[in-house]
Structures are given as structure tokens and as C-alpha cells.
Amino acid sequence: MSKMEKEPLFSAKNLKYLTGPFSANNPVIVQILGICSALAVTVQLKPAIVMALSVTVVTAFSNLVMSLLRNGVPARIRIIVQLVVIAALVILVDQVLKAYLYEVSKQLSVYVGLIITNCIVMGRIEAFALANKPWPALLDGIGNGLGYGLILVVVAFFRELLGSGSLLGYPIVPESWYIAEGGFYSNCGLMLFPPMALIIVGCIIWVHRSRNKDLQEK
């Protein structure tokens, strides 16, 4: 931004594409997209972070590729072209995870494959990449991926802390607090079950919308 060029790479407008999805236009809690995978991988913090990064990579590059191709693909067959681009990127991510993070990739199981049908990826291509230049499209992809990751990390933080008493695998709750050691505390096992993820997201929406009144329904 130091040089006043015609359109700087990080102009205010471009920066907004990047930061908008963090809160006001968050893909999970405002656009209600990509919830399927958002909840299942949040039992622990580590898989949630890996999942967030994978989705960010796929959204960013699929947005970039589709934005580059946007004038060459006929509208009638665009869905299948998008699916091929996304599926190819997801296969790449899956192979990289299997090679370097095998344990986490086992935990994520089918949810890596489900990035293909993650509505965020498809939704951002349809809503943004097909009508914009490659650079804003890339920023929009990164922004939405990170906005999705933010929710994942918040949900996983509460589930791991309250459900297992640890964060990233490191114990946080002191050993002597537990009932087995003569203390008063025990982990909330319910947090590890799927329904609690939904309730936590519901509460995040509640807090977020009470602070952003314009998002509330009628």
C-alpha cells in the first residue's frame, strides 16, 4: 500500500474480501454453508486445525482456477467442471495428508473426501469466483476458508477442553482435580458426542447475532 499504484494488491476493497468472512459474512454461522464437515472433526483441536487448513487450501485454489477458467467454460457444463477441479484438489490434499500426517488423516476419515461436497467451496465459486478476477477470487477463497476454520477451532476448543480436559492433546485440567484422584471434577463425556457440537454452534450463532443486530431474522 506504500506505492500508490492503479490498484494495489491489498487495497481496502481487496482486504475486505479477505476479512469479511471472519465475522460479518462468516460462511458457517451467517451463510450456513459447510456445516457437515465443520462439526464432525471438532472432538479435538488438532484434527480441526488440519481440516481448516485443508479446506482453506481447496477453497483458495479452486476459486483461483475457476476464476481463471471463468470465460472459457460454458454455463451449462460448469457444475461438472467445478466438481472435477475441486475433486482433483481434494485428492491432492488427501494424498499429502496421508503422506505427512497419517494419524490425523485416519481421524478425519471420510471427511477429507467430503470437502468435495462442502458447500463453501461450491458456493464461493458460484457466488464469487465466476464473476471476479483471479486475485480477489483467491483472497475470497482464503478468507472464507479461514472464517470456516475460525468456527471449527472455537467449537473444538470447547469440546476438547470440557470433554477431555486437554488442548491439542496436552492436559489442562490438573490431575489432582479429578474424582479418581480425590478431587471434585470430572470431564463432561457428553461433549464428545455429536449432538453437543450442534448445540455449541447454536450458541455461537446466538452470541454472534446478539452482537450483530442486523443479522437477526425479522
Partner 1 sequence: MEMLNIFIRSIFIDNMVFAFFFGMCSYIAVSKSVKTALGLGAAVTFVMVMTVPLNYLLYQFVLKSGALVWAGFPEVNLSFLSFIVFIATIAAFVQLVEMIVEKFSPTLYSQLGIFLPLIAVNCAIMGGSLFMQQKVDAMQLTSVWESVIYGLGSGLGWWLAIVMMAAIREKTTYSHIPAALKGPGIAFIITGLMGIAFMIFSGIQF
Q: Which residues bind partner 1 (CB under 8 A)?
A: 29, 32-40, 79-80, 83-84, 87-88, 90-91, 94-95, 109-110, 113-114, 116-119, 122, 190, 193-199, 201-203, 205-210, 216-218
- For residue 59, the minimal CB distance to partner 1 (Å) is 14
The Cα 180–Cα 34 span in angstroms is: 40
- For residue 131, the minimal CB distance to partner 1 (Å) is 19
The Cα 59–Cα 89 span in angstroms is: 9
The Cα 172–Cα 206 span in angstroms is: 27
Q: Please, which residue, 58 or 60, has the CB nearer to partner 1?
A: 58
- For residue 104, the minimal CB distance to partner 1 (Å) is 17
- For residue 109, the minimal CB distance to partner 1 (Å) is 7
Q: Please, which residue, 11 or 212, has the CB nearer to partner 1?
A: 212
C-alpha cell at 143: 478468507
Closest to 127 measured CA to CA, from 70, 172, 179: 70
- For residue 43, the minimal CB distance to partner 1 (Å) is 12
The Cα 189–Cα 207 span in angstroms is: 24
The Cα 123–Cα 127 span in angstroms is: 6
Q: Please, which residue, 139 or 200, has the CB nearer to partner 1?
A: 200
Q: Please, which residue, 9 or 84, has the CB nearer to partner 1?
A: 84
Place of cell 483441536: 45
- For residue 33, the minimal CB distance to partner 1 (Å) is 6
Q: Please, which residue, 91 or 172, has the CB nearer to partner 1?
A: 91
Alpha-carbon dihedral of residues 16, 18, 24, 30, nearest 10 degrees? 140
The Cα 181–Cα 58 span in angstroms is: 46
Q: Please, which residue, 38 or 65, has the CB nearer to partner 1?
A: 38
Closest to 67 measured CA to CA, from 21, 157, 132, 147: 132
